[in-house]
């Protein structure tokens, strides 16, 4: 969820960046368009200014030309004026070249300002294309050539005038003077045409500039409108996308908040389940305790909470007793360089115990189990340590050992007595016939005692698992008796069940030894094998309760699934025990439980149905809930079917469900609860 939200935020930032870049690029494009128009305007203004320079130079040239006519006969003076005229003509030519080919025109402007007598003004003009014609150059350049001829001609006339005057040739002098006058009479028209051409060109340029200015103004207005429209469009698109992404992020935040609430509730539920367990459960990271249930605080009465306990004790091993009856007890913090909890994990096949004392110095024995669970992809893990109080079981074992010793002594005594009887039997055959018959009965009884003694010895040697269910039932009945909330019938019923379980477990304890042992890894196995094992274990108690167990399962070699067979055995055992209890509680006369198997849509399916009348509709949807039970508190905790559902669905990717169904047996229809257990089939 967080990864999705962060990706949306990245997308939102990306949209804003793209929008900003779009606006920036759009603005640059329009600035380029407007700059192009401004450059064109500037170019026209430069052209007009150069034209004005040309016009000014023509006027100055005209003035110098007329000054040349009135110049004295000094050759030097005429050469100075001619040089000035040629300088002006060079300026005009330079200006025409700039108009024709483009470039920068430099002009010296004289200012009557201290320190700025001569100022250079630069005028830049760009020709838009190589084929662009300069009408100024076309019309003015020929005039300049013509003007050069006129200067040479007038210079020659003035030279002749000076010559004839010097030689005092009156007639020739008079003729040259007249010719000079006629020449100058025609000259104003020449300069007038040049000036008019320039003014006309300047006028036309002014008109073009005015048109261009109007056109540029219109284009700028159009560009600005388009620019504003596009900017508005980009802003609207960015806002819409941002709003859309914002809504998505808002919804994801709501979903995240909802998920956090669910996680909090789930955590509280798990904490409640742990606190409801009678055994001590501790969660560790391998170095220190992370959490523990209320059973820890209840046992060590000096502490009101786990936090208070942890502040004073870094490890529960502080309370391990050193004086123990066997090597299976944990007494140290370290074993060969590794911590005691890692020692437990590395020796999971051993049944370790520990002794701790309560505040009143009462000694308690605990069995210990440790499990390591990886909690994330980085390899982080937690260790769950379970300490189950087996003090009552240890006391029972000691009592059984004492009973076994007494029975062995009794058997030995009776055997010796029998031997003595056998030695004297031949002598007392006639007289003691009747006594011999009585002795035969005693021998049979003694053999039974001997067998019983041997069986009890084996049980005392092979005892492995704690009888926690008996302890819980006895403790519950003790509390009920103390509170006065029970009666003799319930007491007799509870103790009867306790004794029944004791007889059942003592007769089958060796078969049970590996039954509840946790598998280390998932494997492929035949589903019928753990089912057959469970049926074998429960067959005796079914027979004792007059319940017929009908097994119609076919042992198909292809009936293979993946998981932990011992866990599946626990599921089968829970369902079969529930079926047995339901059948007994409803007092069905013809009692039976029917088991069948089938392969359905890639799943191996086992059906277990009783004929106890079915589960009421009001509770059928709740039977897999934790701590939900219809039994008396001394008979059930409501955790069996809940754990069965956890095993099937979470550990084996299967499903378990229950429905009330009708089944026909021996021609009679029966109604009962049908459990359907489905596991993915393996090829």
Q: Got the DSSP string for 29-55?
A: HHHHHHHHHHHHHHHHHHHHHHHHHHH
What is the enclosing helix (H) or strand (E) of 669?
strand 668-680
Per-residue pLDDT band for 430 (boundaries 50, 70, 90) equals low
- How much of the chain, in percent, has pLDDT values that exceed 90? 9
CA 620 to chain CA centroid, Å, is 37
- Give the contacts of 432 (CB within 8 A, at least 6 positions apart): 425
Other Cβ atoms within 10 Å of 395 Cβ, number: 11
Q: pLDDT by residue (tens digit) across 133-152? A: 455 556 677 777 777 777 77
Q: In the β-sheet with 352-357, what is the strand arrangement from edge to edge?
A: 289-292, 280-284, 381-389, 363-374, 352-357
- pLDDT at res. 437: 54
Q: Which ranges of 463-564 does DSSP label H, i.e. alpha helix?
A: 468-483, 488-512, 528-544
- The CATH number that domain 278-389 falls under is 3.30.450.20
Whether 659 contacts 623, CB under 8 Å:
no
Nearest to 104 by CA among 129, 127, 85, 133: 127
- pLDDT at res. 450: 32
| Comparison of pLDDT for 514 and 33, the residue scoring more | 33
Per-residue pLDDT band for 587 (boundaries 50, 70, 90) equals confident
Q: pLDDT by residue (tens digit) across 170-182? A: 888 888 878 877 7
- pLDDT at res. 658: 94
Bridge partners of 661, per DSSP, are 672
Per-residue pLDDT band for 454 (boundaries 50, 70, 90) equals very low
Q: How far apart are CA 333 and CA 318, in angstroms?
A: 8
pLDDT higher than 90, residue 610: yes
User: Which of these ranges, 186-195, 427-436, 459-468, has the smallest mean pLDDT?
Assistant: 459-468
**Best mean pLDDT range from 217-231, 264-278, 428-442, 596-610:** 596-610
| Comparison of pLDDT for 303 and 512, the residue scoring more | 303
Q: pLDDT by residue (tens digit) across 590-609? A: 889 999 999 999 999 999 99
- Distances in Å between the Cα of 367 and the Cα atoms of 391, 466, 643 are 9, 8, 21
Q: How far apart are CA 51 and CA 55, in angstroms?
A: 6
Nearest to 586 by CA among 614, 620, 549: 614
Nearest to 474 by CA among 586, 366, 362, 391: 391
The domain segmentation of the chain, as residue ranges, is 2-253, 278-389, 519-683
pLDDT higher than 80, residue 37: no
- Give the contacts of 177 (CB within 8 A, at least 6 positions apart): 161
Whether 46 contacts 247, CB under 8 Å:
no
- pLDDT at res. 4: 59
Other Cβ atoms within 10 Å of 226 Cβ, number: 13
Nearest to 479 by CA among 460, 494, 465: 494
Q: How far apart are CA 128 and CA 141, in angstroms?
A: 21
- pLDDT at res. 129: 56
The class (CATH top level) of 519-683 is alpha beta
Whether 205 contacts 99, CB under 8 Å:
no
CB-side exposure of 136: number of CA atoms within 13 Å? 29
Q: How is residue 213 annotated by DSSP?
A: H
pTM: 0.32
């Amino acid at each position: 969820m967080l990864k999705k939200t962060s990706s949306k935020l990245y997308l939102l930032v990306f949209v804003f960046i793209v929008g900003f870049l779009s606006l920036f690029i759009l603005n640059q494009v329009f600035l380029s368009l407007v700059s192009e128009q401004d450059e064109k305007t500037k170019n026209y203004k430069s052209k007009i200014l150069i034209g004005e320079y040309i016009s000014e130079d023509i006027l100055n040239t005209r003035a110098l030309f007329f000054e040349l006519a009135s110049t004295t006969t000094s050759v030097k003076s005429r050469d100075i004026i001619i040089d000035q005229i040629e300088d002006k003509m060079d300026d005009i030519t330079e200006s025409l070249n700039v108009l024709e080919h483009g470039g920068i025109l430099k002009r010296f402007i004289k200012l009557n300002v201290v320190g700025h007598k001569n100022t250079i003004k630069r005028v830049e003009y760009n020709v838009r294309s190589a084929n662009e014609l300069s009408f100024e150059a076309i019309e003015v350049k020929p005039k300049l050539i013509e003007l050069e001829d006129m200067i040479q001609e007038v210079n020659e006339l003035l030279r002749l005038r000076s010559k004839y005057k010097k030689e005092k040739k009156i007639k020739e002098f008079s003729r040259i003077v007249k010719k000079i006058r006629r020449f100058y009479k025609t000259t104003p028209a020449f300069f007038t045409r040049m000036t008019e051409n320039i003014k006309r060109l300047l006028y036309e340029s002014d008109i073009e500039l005015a048109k261009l200015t109007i056109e540029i103004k219109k284009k700028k207005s159009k560009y600005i409108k388009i620019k504003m429209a596009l900017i508005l469009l980009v802003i609207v698109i960015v806002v819409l996308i941002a709003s859309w992404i914002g809504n998505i992020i808002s919804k994801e935040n709501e979903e995240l908040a909802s998920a956090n609430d669910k996680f909090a509730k789930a955590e509280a539920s798990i904490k409640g389940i742990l606190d409801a367990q009678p055994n001590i459960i501790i969660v560790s990271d391998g170095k220190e305790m992370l959490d523990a249930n209320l059973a820890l605080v209840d046992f060590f009465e000096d502490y009101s909470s786990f936090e208070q306990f942890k502040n004073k004790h870094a490890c529960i091993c502080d309370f391990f007793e050193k004086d123990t009856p066997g090597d299976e007890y944990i007494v140290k913090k370290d074993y060969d360089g590794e911590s005691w909890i890692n020692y437990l994990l590395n020796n999971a096949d051993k049944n370790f115990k520990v002794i701790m004392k309560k505040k009143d110095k009462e000694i308690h024995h605990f069995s210990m189990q440790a499990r390591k669970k990886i909690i994330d992809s980085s390899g982080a893990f937690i260790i769950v340590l379970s300490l189950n109080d087996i003090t009552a079981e240890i006391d029972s074992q000691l009592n059984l050992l004492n009973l076994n010793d007494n029975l062995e002594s009794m058997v030995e005594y009776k055997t010796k007595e029998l031997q003595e009887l056998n030695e004297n039997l031949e002598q007392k055959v006639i007289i003691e016939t009747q006594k011999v018959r009585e002795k035969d009965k005693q021998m049979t009884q003694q053999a039974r005692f001997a067998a019983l003694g041997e069986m009890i010895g084996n049980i005392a040697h092979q005892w492995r698992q704690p009888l926690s269910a008996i302890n819980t039932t006895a403790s519950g009945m003790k509390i009920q008796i103390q509170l006065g909330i029970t009666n003799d019938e319930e007491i007799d019923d509870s103790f009867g069940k306790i004794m029944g379980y004791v007889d059942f477990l003592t007769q089958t304890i060796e078969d049970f030894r590996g039954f509840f042992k946790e598998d280390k890894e998932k494997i492929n196995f035949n589903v019928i094998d753990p089912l057959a094992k469970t049926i074998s274990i429960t067959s005796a108690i079914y027979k004792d309760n007059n319940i017929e167990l009908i097994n119609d399962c076919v042992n198909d070699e292809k009936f293979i699934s993946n998981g932990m067979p011992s866990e599946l055995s626990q599921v089968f055992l829970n369902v079969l025990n529930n079926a047995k209890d339901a059948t007994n509680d409803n007092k069905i006369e013809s009692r039976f439980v029917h088991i069948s198997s089938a392969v359905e849509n890639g799943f191996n399916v086992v059906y277990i149905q009783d004929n106890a009348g079915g589960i009421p509709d009001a509770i059928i949807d709740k039977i897999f809930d934790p701590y939900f039970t219809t039994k008396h508190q001394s008979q059930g905790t409501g955790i069996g079917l809940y754990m069965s559902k956890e095993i099937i669905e979470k550990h084996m990717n299967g499903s378990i469900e229950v429905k009330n169904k009708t089944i026909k047996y021996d021609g009679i229809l029966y109604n009962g609860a049908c459990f359907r257990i489905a596991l993915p089939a393996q090829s």
